[in-house]
Amino acid sequence: MRNKIDAVLGKTLVLIMSVMVINVLWQVFTRYVTGNPSSFTDELARYLMIWIGVLGAAYVSGRNLHVAIDILPLRQNLKTQKKLKIIVTVLIILFVLFAFVIGGTRLVYISYVLGQQSPSLQLPLAFVYVIIPISGLLIMYYKISDLKNINS
């Protein structure tokens, strides 16, 4: 299951990045060649960057490629290293639960209730922000899976 999620997430990130590159190239073309810059490209690039950053965090978390300071664990014995890994993983799960899942869900709900829309694209901002709790759930899935692997 984890490999399938990794594959879908990786392909999604490539797709979003491709759309963002095309979008920015269109912006440059319309600005410098036609002299009439496109009105939506700046906003779309901003929202795509949000999605890339937040989904990328989930992808990197699932692959355990995130930046980590490992000076303390490397100086400990294997039993202590395992305990530290469990503590750090539980702290990550708690942070993601409160910041991404609960906080992100509140942000989506408030944006939806207020009917906030983006100025140029007229997209509901709830749609833009929905990636935050989704990414949080993905990170939690990965970290819970990591906890199961630590204990086995």
Q: Which residue has the tokens 């963002």?
A: 20
In angstroms, rounded to a whole number, what is the distance separating the alpha carbons of residues 110 and 128?
A: 13
Give the model's confidence band at 152: pLDDT under 50 very low, under 70 low, under 90 confident, else very high. Answer: low
Tell me what the pLDDT averaged over the chain comes to: 92
More confident residue, 77 or 138: 138
Structure tokens belonging to residue 127:
């749609």
Q: 52-64: per-residue pLDDT in tens?
A: 999 999 999 999 8
Give percent above pLDDT 90 in the chain: 76
- pLDDT at site 72: 77
DSSP result, 53-115: HHHHHHHHHHHT-S----HHHHTS-HHHHHHHHHHHHHHHHHHHIIIIIIHHHHHHHHHHHHT
Closest CA to 108 of 140, 136, 144: 136
Whether the full predicted model's pTM is greater than 0.85, yes or no, is yes
pLDDT-based confidence at residue 38 (cuts at 50, 70, 90): confident
pLDDT above 80 (res 144):
yes
